């Protein structure tokens, strides 16, 4: 029975200075780094990334900030890289999502190639690996590593954190969201999202 920390979308475009910045994103990256230095009970640490190539109506020149958004986290761009305040040394795997759709949940993510650096420019992940097999999903990877418990932190509370936590609990994982280690787009919507998660069986700490 193993426990994994899932770090959701702590990327440059979601932090101050990015194209879709969340207030407090850079500070949150620092706080998660401090959590990583103190925590001893995680068997695995994984990170998710928005990794958009052509996500259709998810990108808009006139976004409604509900289902459509400004261009962000384009695959291989600086904006898609993990924020420099996040220490990636102990991250075991990276999962990219949203190449051709919105993909809010980390469980839509596919495993990134092992030989690629944790931050900076990357090539877009192919639909099959070099052996011709389908790429590994986050759910596949967690199950292969006998993970039963997941703890979720990251950006944004009311969007990708919410979606990832709902998918985790629906997939049968014991799921926890750390309230002090998430940041949201909208304060009211974030509180509503946390209430929804608690009602769904997610533990809030």
Residue boundaries of the structural domains of the chain: 2-204
pLDDT of residue 1: 87
pLDDT of residue 51: 97
Residue 6's alpha-carbon distances to 27, 126, 136, 195, in angstroms, are: 18, 23, 16, 20
The top-level CATH class assigned to 2-204 is alpha beta
pLDDT at 117 over 60: no
Give the N- to C-terminal CA distance of the chain in Å, as an integer. Answer: 21
Q: What percent of the chain has pLDDT over 90?
A: 86
Q: What is the pLDDT of residues 49-102, one digit of tens each?
A: 999 999 999 999 999 998 999 999 999 999 999 999 999 999 999 999 999 999
What is the mean predicted confidence (pLDDT) over 142-162?
Answer: 98
- Residues taking part in catalysis: 9, 97, 160
Residue 128, SS3 per DSSP: coil
Residue 135: which pLDDT band, with cuts at 50, 70 and 90?
confident
Q: What percent of the chain has pLDDT over 70?
A: 90
pLDDT at 129 over 70: no
User: 40 or 114: whose pLDDT is higher?
Assistant: 40
Report d(CA 92, CA 88) in Å as an integer: 9
Which region among 27-36, 116-125, 175-184 has the lowest average model confidence (pLDDT)? 116-125
What is the mean predicted confidence (pLDDT) over 144-161?
Answer: 98
């Amino acid at each position: 029975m193993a426990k994994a920390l899932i770090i959701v979308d702590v990327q440059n475009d979601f932090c101050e200075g990015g194209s879709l910045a969340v207030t407090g994103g850079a500070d949150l990256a620092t706080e998660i780094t401090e959590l990583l230095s103190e925590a001893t009970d995680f068997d695995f640490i994984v990170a998710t990334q928005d990794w958009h190539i052509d996500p259709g109506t998810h990108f808009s020149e006139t976004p409604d900030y509900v289902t459509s958004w400004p261009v962000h986290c384009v695959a291989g761009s600086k904006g898609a890289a993990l924020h420099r305040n996040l220490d990636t040394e102990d991250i075991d795997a990276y999962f990219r999502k949203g190449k051709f759709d919105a993909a809010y949940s980390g469980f839509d993510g596919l495993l990134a190639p092992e030989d690629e650096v944790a931050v900076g420019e990357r090539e877009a992940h192919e639909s099959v690996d070099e052996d011709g097999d389908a790429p590994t999903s986050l759910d596949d990877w967690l199950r292969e590593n006998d993970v039963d418990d997941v703890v979720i932190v990251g950006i944004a509370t009311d969007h990708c954190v919410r979606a990832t936590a709902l998918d985790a609990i629906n997939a049968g994982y014991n799921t926890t969201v750390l309230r002090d280690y998430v940041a949201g787009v909208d304060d009211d919507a974030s509180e509503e999202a946390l209430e929804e998660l608690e009602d769904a069986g997610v533990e809030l700490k």
